[in-house]
Structure 1
Amino acid sequence: EMDKELSFNPLEILEGRKLKYVAFGGFKKSDIPRLVDKYMNNEFDLDKYVTRRMAFSDINVAMDMLIAGKSLRCVLHMDEDCPN
């Protein structure tokens, strides 16, 4: 949930531990072509993680839903006639 708090002992940071935030699963830009190939070859299923499909013109609505925790992943379509 997006509104959960994270607590930790700050002494652990002083002892050399790291607190790290990862967005997009930690993938590098150079990983994208390989991941697309794997998806296109049905080596893994991303569709089950898509909770919404929206027109690109609704990008702000999509971001608000993600931030509010109301959507896991939004796929934005460039045309207005996108599937729901």
Structure 2
Amino acid sequence: MTDGGVDRSVECTGSINAMISAFECVHDGWGVAVLVGVPNKDDAFRTHPINVLNEKTLKGTFFGNYKPRSDLPEVVEMYIKKELELEKFITHEVPFSEINKAFEYMLKGEGLRCIIRMTA
């Protein structure tokens, strides 16, 4: 269907199988796969070496290469103007005394964003 593979693929799930598929489905010679999702800490990315030798490109990014110093003021401004609804991204809130619960949500893939309250 794609005559040898796709030019670009982007993986955003964190599923190791999706990451491998995203890399393996790009076209030999010029295909680029970008991994955005964060995998489980015990997952291993495994592919046949020929995928690299065939000049496919694999890239990764944490947080979309977000630069807090220069980008954060713009995000705050968007939030103040009600152009960005951050509340939609918060799945849990826990007090600091239960911080380990926040890590459990993250490691189980049950939480998108967890707010940790520093006060009781």
TM-score (structure 1 length as normaliser): 0.72
Q: Which runs of no fewer than 5 residues in structure 2 stay unpaired?
A: 1-12, 25-48
| More contact order relative to length (CA 8 Å, sep ≥ 6) | 1
Q: 1:67 aligns with which of 107, 110, 120?
A: 107
In the TM superposition, structure 1's runs of 4+ consecutive aligned residues that sit over 3 Å from their partners are 1-4, 8-14
Tell me how far apart the structure 2 counterparts of residues 50 and 73 of structure 1 sit (CA, whole Å): 5
Change (3 A) 1:40 1:11: farther
Question: Over residues 33-63 of structure 1, what are the superposed CA-to-partner deviations in whole Å (9 max), with x where a residue is unaligned?
Answer: 2212211221111111111111122222101
Tell me how far apart the structure 1 counterparts of residues 97 and 87 of structure 2 sit (CA, whole Å): 22
TM-score (structure 2 length as normaliser): 0.54
How far did residue 23 of structure 1 move? 2.6
Equivalent residue, structure 2, for 1:24: 63
How far did residue 75 of structure 1 move? 1.0
Tell me how far apart the structure 2 counterparts of residues 16 and 65 of structure 1 sit (CA, whole Å): 34
RMSD: 2.2
Q: Which runs of no fewer than 5 residues in structure 1 stay unpaired?
A: none
How far did residue 74 of structure 1 move? 0.3
Q: Which has the higher strand share?
A: 2
Larger radius of gyration: 2
